[in-house]
Structure 1
Amino acid sequence: MQPYFFPYIGYFQLIANSDVFVIYDDVNFIKKGWINRNTILVNNTPYLFSIPLQNVSQNKLINEIFISDLDKWKTDLLKTISLSYKKAPFYQDVYPLIEKIISFDELNLALYIQNSLQNLCEYLNLNTKLVMSSEIVKNNDLRGENKIIDICIQLGANQYINAIGGIELYIQDNFQVKNIDLKFIKSENIIYKQFKNEFKPWLSIIDVIMFNSLEDTRMLLNKFELI
């Protein structure tokens, strides 16, 4: 999967149910996607936050994108998170982790997000090995499904699990001919208490861990169907 900043819980369901999770950093950056932005709850409403980037272009690979060297965005984002969640039940447990992640001193976007994912996995007690796609020796002339299959072969994988959206992108038979079982994670309807408000689904993992204990969050990670 592409590196996403504080992604939704479905992303961590993929990580939790994999032996190796490949951070797909050597594919083209997508503007207005979820690589450098996500949503949290601000004043009972989903609020889109983002990492400001330098000279962003969809003609560059994700690992060629750099973050703005002005740190004011970090201060502003931390203030927004603090004000929005300071009354959440697990704020005291979670905020130091969020602060550590956002304050990380790295301008390369892929490496910055890799660090965030690693820290979140440690908090969630996920022992999945995280690997950068750019570090895997593979045929970089391949594209799309063929590149995914080649990565699986290089890692000795006998099963590839993708998010449910990939069901329209990948063909079962093309994986099976290489002795790879293709599966998709379909998240169940995940609901939890957000203050006293109407529930807003599929927000950043920040929202999940602010309102759920570590034990309850790990239970939510198992609320999916593998198809």
Structure 2
Amino acid sequence: MIVSAHQPYFCPYPGFFFKPMHSDVFVLLDSVQFPRGGTWITRNRFKNDQGAFWMSIPVWKKGKGLQRIDEVEICHEGSWKKKHLKSLYCAYADAPYLEQHLPLFERVFSDAYDKIADMNRDIISYAMDSLGIRTQVIRLSETKAGGAGTGLLVNLCRTLEADGFLTFRSAWKYLDEGLFRRAGIETLAIEPPEIVYPQLWSDFVPNLSVFDLLFTCGPKSREILQRGRHKVRCADSVAH
């Protein structure tokens, strides 16, 4: 069984989904420390007639100190939810599949969620379902795996009785491959290609939210992602 893991990003870019596409279990790392400064957990990019624009979810940080991702609360003050919905309407009014996915955002931009991790989990699960990815999704907080860094990932694989761990090739340098090897766990790497597809407005902008793809390409989105399917062993990827 192959396991992959990633922090629960907000409306992730298409390449994010190569991990669950190539693994049997996909773990959302929701009980690790919430990053300081800007983070993809609370924002991502969409596109309008002016180019790429940011959509951010305000969260409570002041006076909270260090928080785990699953502890971070959404700030419901202000009119940002109405503004975000209006931004999507205006930017994607001509997108053929906007209406199909709007109910998700109407729920997201309501008071349905208190925690950013809960909201992002549902968004990611929805996107996976829309892309035809049936991989099991669990949260780190639902397991008994502990530790930090590579040790945490090794313990996670042991807890789930996995014999393989999949990561992005660009993240390989941050892992201690020896820990995996001594635990009898094979390490695999994948390098997501640039996903190119028809977009609204002017020139193509790479790595927008996956919903830019879903709004414009609908059921063809999975086929577009599958064009770049490729998996290699980490040892081979480093050698090259």
Structure 1 runs not aligned, ≥5 long? none
Runs of 4+ in 1 over 6 A off after TM superposition: none
**Could you tell me whether the CA contact under 8 Å between 1:21 and 1:129 is conserved in 2?**
yes
Whichever residue aligns with residue 95 of structure 2, its letter is A
Of 106, 123, 127, 1:120 maps to: 127
Does 1:3 find its partner at 2:11?
no
2: CA distance, partners of 1:101 / 1:221: 25
2: CA distance, partners of 1:44 / 1:218: 27
**Could you tell me whether the CA contact under 8 Å between 1:5 and 1:37 is conserved in 2?**
yes
Does 1:200 find its partner at 2:219?
no
2: CA distance, partners of 1:102 / 1:21: 25
Normalising by structure 1, report the TM-score.
0.91
Whichever residue aligns with residue 160 of structure 2, its letter is L
Deviates further, 116-125 or 32-41: 116-125
Partner of 1:189: 194
Does 1:47 find its partner at 2:32?
no
Of 124, 133, 143, 2:140 maps to: 133
SS of 2:191 mapped into structure 1: strand
**Could you tell me whether the CA contact under 8 Å between 1:137 and 1:154 is conserved in 2?**
yes
Does 1:12 find its partner at 2:20?
no
1: CA distance, partners of 2:111 / 2:76: 12
Query: How far does residue 210 in structure 1 lie from its aligned partner after superposition?
Result: 1.3
Identity of aligned residues (%): 26
SS of 2:80 mapped into structure 1: helix
Whichever residue aligns with residue 141 of structure 2, its letter is S
2: CA distance, partners of 1:24 / 1:12: 15
Structure 2 runs not aligned, ≥5 long? 1-5, 233-240
2: CA distance, partners of 1:135 / 1:174: 23
Query: How far does residue 71 in structure 1 lie from its aligned partner after superposition?
Result: 6.5
Using a 3 Å threshold, how does the CA distance of structure 1 residues 203 and 212 change in structure 2: closer, same or farther? same
Whichever residue aligns with residue 205 of structure 1, its letter is V
Partner of 1:74: 81
**Could you tell me whether the CA contact under 8 Å between 1:101 and 1:115 is conserved in 2?**
no
Does 1:28 find its partner at 2:28?
no
Normalising by structure 2, report the TM-score.
0.86
Q: CA RMSD in A?
A: 1.8
2: CA distance, partners of 1:104 / 1:224: 37
Query: How far does residue 209 in structure 1 lie from its aligned partner after superposition?
Result: 0.6
